[in-house]
Structure 1
């Protein structure tokens, strides 16, 4: 099994997982739905939310496994966030 195949087997959740989250977390999830991967600063710019609110939203989304993160290849100081919510659910 290749590394790519292992990555696609990561568990996905549906939109029901974010139902009880704050509006900021829902907004961040929606922005990530339309953009494959974004850094925290890009999310703040796209959502027009303060960076602290974006951090809180990401934490809440990670808590329900709706978002995953990895280090940026271009800048190891930054993390890149992607949505794990199944688009068809």
Structure 2
């Protein structure tokens, strides 16, 4: 299975490849690690989308996002599609 040049460059830009990011993430609960991994694959995502993709309950996703935000690993902004919703993304 080969990866294209675009896929390799996107992977190298991922915050998950940063040793400091990974070390901080290592200290967080499993739910936060899973949410970060889901965000790595497709972001930005709303809390509801994260719950759907991760198969975690909404409350657990909210807790995981709070922990990730406390550690400055995740940030949020208002959705361009629906300004009532926040979307989350990993911080590079």
Q: Deviations over 1:34-74 (max 9, x none)?
A: 11211000000000000000000000000000000000111
Partner of 1:25: 32
Q: Identify the structure with the greater helix proportion.
A: 2
Select the structure with the greater relative contact order (CA < 8 A; seq sep ≥ 6): 1
Please report the TM-score for the alignment, with normalisation by the length of structure 2: 0.75
Following TM superposition, where does structure 1 have runs of at least 4 consecutive aligned residues deviating by more than 2 angstroms? none
Considering only aligned residues, what root-mean-square deviation do their CA atoms show, in Å? 1.4
- Give the unaligned 5+ runs of structure 2: 1-17
Please report the TM-score for the alignment, with normalisation by the length of structure 1: 0.78
**How many residues are paired up?**
74
Give 2:51's match in structure 1, choosing from 22, 31, 44: 44
1:61 aligns with 2:68: yes
